[in-house]
Amino acid sequence: MALTDQSTKIRVGEELDASLIDPYLKAHIPGLSGSPEISQFPGGASNLTYLIRYPEQEFVLRRPPFGSKAKSAHDMGREYRILNQLSDGFPYCPKAYAHCTDETLIGSEFYVMERVKGIILRSELPPELNFDTQQTTALCKNFIDKLVELHQVDYAACGLADLGKPQGYVERQISGWSDRYEKARTPDAPSWESVRSWLKEKMPANSPVSSIVHNDYRFDNVILDPDQPMQIIG
């Protein structure tokens, strides 16, 4: 069993047309030659992820899922921008090469990025790793350390100062929780008034420091070094 993450046959209904992808990539990424082979990564619960393999180079293509989607979800341009600009301060971001906004090409926007070969822990530690307690502890500490490094990135210096609205963030969260609760509340649900009052009273002040936050930080969203699996490389 290969420990590095492997692509497989494309799922029915999620195929990509290589004859359309190939000329687009060759027009936007210098030096490509030959014909691409396209396969699909089985993991991931949201966007669809494909391996584009040329004779001398490999890429990963990400696109939204098929079917109807929430308007603000699956923002390929946002992902592409963050990967490219955040990499200046956080070298674990794969390089993003091209962002296609022409939805007529494959039926949606997509972007293409560098493939980082490594181990992705999809559910449990593979027995082939044969980690003991000390090694597992080291991996978990490295996992947390990378998140700390991300929080320490000067995102403004990376050109991402306009990415969010740090001031008033906590107040917006708390008022949003209350508003959504009221809108979803059924006659048998409690008023939640005591909880809302407690949250408002205990609301912390704005922090003088703002950070990039990874909203889905978990083991299957990091890539481990195949030669040193306790180390995170992507």
Same domain? 141 vs 191 = no
Same domain? 189 vs 233 = no
Confidence (pLDDT) at 65: 85
With a pLDDT cut of 70, the percent of the chain lying above it is 95
Same domain? 117 vs 188 = no
With a CB cutoff of 8 Å and minimum separation 6, the contacts of 178 are 192, 196, 199
Same domain? 196 vs 216 = no
Same domain? 11 vs 71 = yes
Same domain? 73 vs 121 = yes
Same domain? 125 vs 214 = yes
Beta bridge partners of 232: 224
CATH of the domain at 1: 3.30.200.20
Same domain? 127 vs 180 = no
Confidence (pLDDT) at 1: 46
Decide if 140 contacts 27 (C-beta within 8 A): no
Q: How far is CA 35 from CA 7, 17, 21, 54, 190, in A?
A: 18, 12, 10, 6, 61
Same domain? 182 vs 106 = no
Same domain? 147 vs 214 = yes
Same domain? 154 vs 178 = no
Instruction: Report the alpha-carbon distance of residue 143 to residue 136 in Å, rounded.
Output: 11
Instruction: Report the alpha-carbon distance of residue 134 to residue 146 in Å, rounded.
Output: 19
Number of structural domains in the chain: 2
Positions of the chain with pLDDT under 70? 1-2, 43-45, 67-73
Confidence (pLDDT) at 70: 54
Same domain? 175 vs 138 = no
Range of the domain at 173: 169-202
Closest CA to 60 of 85, 83, 34, 41: 41
Listing DSSP states for the chain in one string gives ---B---BPPPTT----HHHHHHHHHHHSTT--S--EEEE-S--SSSEEEEEE-SS-EEEEEEPPSS---TTSS-HHHHHHHHHHHTTT-TTSPPEEEEE--TTTTSS-EEEEE----B--SSS--GGG---HHHHHHHHHHHHHHHHHHHTS-TTTTT-TTS---TTHHHHHHHHHHHHHHHH--TTS---HHHHHHHHHHPPPPPS------TT-SGGGS-B-SSSTTSB--
Whether the model clears a pTM of 0.85, i.e. scores above it, the answer is: no
Instruction: Report the alpha-carbon distance of residue 66 to residue 13 in Å, rounded.
Output: 9
